[in-house]
Amino acid sequence: METTLNLVKLGKLWDFPGGIHPPVRKSISTSHPIKRLPLPDHLYLPLKQHVGRGGQLLVAVGDHVLKGQALSSGEQGALPIHAPTSGKVEAISDYPSAHPSALPETTLVLRPDGEEHWCERNPIDTPLQQPKSVLIEKIATSGIAGLGGAGFPASRKLDGAPESLEFLIINGAECEPYISCDDMLMREHAEELATGIELLVHILNPAMVLVGIEDDKPEAIEAMAKATEGLNVLVKAIPTKYPSGGEKQLIQLLTGREVPTGGLPYQCGVVMHNIGTTYAIKRAICDGEPLLERVVTVTGEAVEQPGNYWAHFGTPVRHLLEHAGYKSKHGRRIIMGGPMMGFTLPHANIPLVKISNCILVPSEQELPMAGQEMPCIRCGQCAEACPASLLPQQLYWYSAHKELEKAREYKLFDCIECGACAYVCPSEIPLVHYYRRAKSELRQQDAEALKSDRAKQRFEARNERLEQAKLEREARHREAVAKRQAAVANRGSQNQGAQEAVAAAMARVKAQQSDQPPAAIIDEQGNLQPDNQAAIEARAKRKEEAAKRRAEKAAAKAKQMEAESPTSDSLASAKDPRKAAVAAAVARAKAKAEAKKAQSAETPDEETSVTEPSPEPSADTPDVDPRKAAVAAAVARAKAKAEAKKAQGAETPDNEASVAKPSSEPSADTTDVDPRKAAVAAAVARAKAKAEQKRREAAESTSDQTEQEPKTQPAPAPVANENAADAKKAAIAAAVAKAKQKAMERQAAAKSEDSSEEDA
Partner 1 sequence: MSFKLAASPHQRIPTRTSKLMFTVALAALPGIAAQYWFFGAGVFWQLLLAIATAVASEALILKIRGKEIASTLADNSAMLTGVLLAISLPPLAPWWLVVIGTAFAIIMVKQLYGGLGYNLFNPAMAAYVMLLISFPLQMTSWHPATGFGAHGYGFIDAAYLIFTGFSSEGFSLAQILSGIDGVTTATPLDHFKTSLTQGYTSSEIIANNPQGMLAGIGWDWVNLAYLASGIYLLQQKVIRWHIPVGVLGGLFVAALVSFLLSPDNTATPIFHLFSGAAMLGAFFIATDPVSASTTVKGRLIFGGLIGLLVYLIRTHGGYPDGMAFAVLLANMCVPLIDYYTQPRTYGHSEETPLEDGKGESS
For partner 1, how many residues bind (rule: CB under 8 A)? 71
Query: How much is the CA Rg of the chain, to the nearest whole Å?
Result: 54
Residue nearer to partner 1 on the CB measure, 73 or 267: 267
Options 45-53, 383-391, 650-658, 670-678: segment touching partner 1 (CB under 8 A): 383-391
Residue 298 makes contact with partner 1 by CB under 8 A: no
Q: Name, in order, each residue with C-beta under 8 angstroms of 205's C-beta and a sequence gap of 6 or more.
A: 163, 165
Q: State the nearest-atom distance from the C-beta of 104 to partner 1, in Å.
A: 17
**Chosen residue from 87, 212, 351, 362 binding partner 1 by CB under 8 A:** 362
- CA-CA-CA-CA torsion sign (551, 556, 559, 560): negative
Residue 615 makes contact with partner 1 by CB under 8 A: no
SS3 content of the chain, % helix, strand, coil (to 5): 55, 10, 35
**Chosen residue from 387, 617, 653, 710 binding partner 1 by CB under 8 A:** 387
The 3-class secondary structure across 182-238, one letter per residue, is HHHHHHHCHHHHHHHHHHHHHHHCCCEEEEEEECCCHHHHHHHHHHCCCCCEEEEEE
Q: State the nearest-atom distance from the C-beta of 370 to partner 1, in Å.
A: 6
573-581 long-range Cβ contacts below 8 angstroms, 24+ apart: 573/650, 573/651, 573/652
Residue nearer to partner 1 on the CB measure, 21 or 578: 21
SS3 555: helix
**Chosen residue from 169, 198, 423, 564 binding partner 1 by CB under 8 A:** 423
Angle between helices 577-601 and 727-750 (to 10 degrees): 10
Residue 369 makes contact with partner 1 by CB under 8 A: yes
Q: Which of residues 430-459 bind partner 1 (CB under 8 A)?
A: 430, 432-433, 436
Residue nearer to partner 1 on the CB measure, 146 or 387: 387
**Chosen residue from 128, 150, 379, 585 binding partner 1 by CB under 8 A:** 379
Residue nearer to partner 1 on the CB measure, 406 or 637: 406
Cβ atoms of 85 and 67 within 8 Å: the answer is yes
**Chosen residue from 142, 171, 427, 525 binding partner 1 by CB under 8 A:** 427
Q: State the nearest-atom distance from the C-beta of 27 to partner 1, in Å.
A: 16
Q: Which of residues 334-353 bind partner 1 (CB under 8 A)?
A: 334-335, 337, 339-348
Q: Which residue, 198, 224, 196, is CA-closest to 281?
A: 196
Distance (Å, rounded) from C-alpha 158 to C-alpha 136?
Answer: 7
Distance (Å, rounded) from C-alpha 212 to C-alpha 231?
Answer: 16
Residue nearer to partner 1 on the CB measure, 171 or 252: 252
Distance (Å, rounded) from C-alpha 168 to C-alpha 209?
Answer: 5
Options 427-435, 440-448, 671-679, 689-697: segment touching partner 1 (CB under 8 A): 427-435
**Chosen residue from 92, 170, 285, 424 binding partner 1 by CB under 8 A:** 424
Distance (Å, rounded) from C-alpha 679 to C-alpha 608?
Answer: 9
Q: State the nearest-atom distance from the C-beta of 86 to partner 1, in Å.
A: 30
Is 358 annotated in a binding site? The answer is no
SS3 309: strand
Residue 261 makes contact with partner 1 by CB under 8 A: yes
Distance (Å, rounded) from C-alpha 692 to C-alpha 639?
Answer: 14
Is 268 annotated in a binding site? The answer is no
Q: Name, in order, each residue with C-beta under 8 angstroms of 507's C-beta and a sequence gap of 6 or more.
A: none
Options 106-114, 216-224, 291-299, 370-378: segment touching partner 1 (CB under 8 A): 370-378
SS3 245: coil
Q: State the nearest-atom distance from the C-beta of 338 to partner 1, in Å.
A: 8
Residue nearer to partner 1 on the CB measure, 250 or 624: 250
**Chosen residue from 57, 124, 391, 638 binding partner 1 by CB under 8 A:** 391
**Chosen residue from 98, 308, 410, 660 binding partner 1 by CB under 8 A:** 410
**Chosen residue from 94, 125, 229, 428 binding partner 1 by CB under 8 A:** 428
Residue nearer to partner 1 on the CB measure, 23 or 530: 23
Q: How far is CA 37 from CA 179, 290, 324, 702, 729, in A?
A: 18, 19, 10, 129, 125
Residue nearer to partner 1 on the CB measure, 339 or 626: 339
Residue 697 makes contact with partner 1 by CB under 8 A: no
Residue nearer to partner 1 on the CB measure, 202 or 327: 327
CA dihedral 442, 445, 451, 457 (to 10 degrees): -100
Q: Which residue, 295, 287, 291, is CA-closest to 186?
A: 295
Residue type at 177 in one-letter notation = P
**Chosen residue from 154, 359, 367, 540 binding partner 1 by CB under 8 A:** 367
Residue nearer to partner 1 on the CB measure, 345 or 583: 345
Residue type at 670 in one-letter notation = T
The CA-based angle 203-208-212, given to 5 degrees, is 100
Residue nearer to partner 1 on the CB measure, 76 or 101: 101
Q: Which of residues 15-34 bind partner 1 (CB under 8 A)?
A: 16-17, 22-23
Q: Which of residues 175-194 bind partner 1 (CB under 8 A)?
A: 177
Residue ranges in 516-576 assigned as alpha helix (H): 519-528, 533-564, 566-569
Half-sphere exposure of 191 (CA within 13 A, CB side): 2
**Chosen residue from 107, 195, 394, 713 binding partner 1 by CB under 8 A:** 394
Residue 388 makes contact with partner 1 by CB under 8 A: yes
Q: State the nearest-atom distance from the C-beta of 374 to partner 1, in Å.
A: 5
Residue 332 makes contact with partner 1 by CB under 8 A: yes
In what side-by-side order are the strands of the sheet with 270-274?
233-238, 208-214, 167-172, 270-274
Q: Which of residues 141-180 bind partner 1 (CB under 8 A)?
A: 177
Is 181 annotated in a binding site? The answer is no
Distance (Å, rounded) from C-alpha 640 to C-alpha 657?
Answer: 11
Q: State the nearest-atom distance from the C-beta of 162 to partner 1, in Å.
A: 18
Residue nearer to partner 1 on the CB measure, 88 or 411: 411
**Chosen residue from 11, 62, 262, 497 binding partner 1 by CB under 8 A:** 262
Q: Which residue, 149, 138, 135, 188, is CA-closest to 274?
A: 149
Is 421 annotated in a binding site? The answer is yes
Half-sphere exposure of 541 (CA within 13 A, CB side): 16
Q: Which of residues 241-260 bind partner 1 (CB under 8 A)?
A: 248, 252, 258-260
Per-residue contact flags (x/-) with partner 1 for residues 300 to 329, judged by CB under 8 A: ------------------x---------x-
Residue 370 makes contact with partner 1 by CB under 8 A: yes
Is 379 annotated in a binding site? The answer is yes
Continuous segment of H or E residues that includes residue 614: none
Distance (Å, rounded) from C-alpha 279 to C-alpha 261?
Answer: 29
Q: State the nearest-atom distance from the C-beta of 169 to partner 1, in Å.
A: 17
**Chosen residue from 3, 126, 372, 493 binding partner 1 by CB under 8 A:** 372
Residue nearer to partner 1 on the CB measure, 18 or 46: 18
Cβ atoms of 547 and 684 within 8 Å: the answer is yes
Q: Which of residues 89-118 bind partner 1 (CB under 8 A)?
A: none
Residue type at 5 in one-letter notation = L
Question: Residues within the annotated binding site for [4Fe-4S] cluster?
Answer: 376, 379, 382, 386, 415, 418, 421, 425
Question: Residues within the annotated binding site?
Answer: 376, 379, 382, 386, 415, 418, 421, 425
